[in-house]
Amino acid sequence: KFRYPGPAPRSRETALLMLADGTEAWARAERPQTEQELRSLVHKSIERVQQSGQINNTHLTLRDLALIKESFISTLRGTLHPRIKYPKEKAKLASSEVATRPAEKKND
C-alpha cells in the first residue's frame, strides 16, 4: 500500500492530483478488461485514500468525490481500451510496398 511521503494534501487541487496519479498507476498495472472492473478499481482506489485520512484536510465533499470517480472512469476508459489487432499480412504488404532505392541525380 503506497502512501505519499510528507504532509497530507491541504488543497482540493493537490488531493485531485494525488487521486489521479494513484488511480492511473493502479489501472495501468491491473489493466481492467470490463467497465465493471474499471469502475470497481476507481472506487477502491479513491476509497482507500479516503479511509486512510489522506484527504481529510482538503474539504472535498462526497459529491466532489462522486464527480471525480466518474471523470476518472471516463478518462481511463478512453486511454485503456484494447487496441485492434491488425492482420499480419496487411502489415507485411504495407512494408513491402515502400520502395527503398537511392535518389536519382538529375542532369540539368
pLDDT confidence of 8, banded at 50, 70, 90? confident
Domain presence at residue 73: yes
Range(s) of the domain holding residue 16? 12-81
Which of residues 19 and 101 earns the better pLDDT score?
19
Whole-number percent of the chain with pLDDT over 70: 78
Which of residues 24 and 82 earns the better pLDDT score?
24
Domain presence at residue 92: no
What integer is the mean pLDDT of 64-79? 94
Q: Give one DSSP letter per residue of 28-88, joined into a string.
A: HHH---SHHHHHHHHHHHHHHHHHTTTTTTTT--HHHHHHHHHHHHHHHHHHHPPPPPPPH
Domain presence at residue 101: no
Task: Tell me what the pLDDT averaged over the chain comes to.
Answer: 85
Structural domain count, the chain: 1
Domain presence at residue 3: no
Domain presence at residue 24: yes
Q: Does the pLDDT at position 55 exceed 90?
A: yes
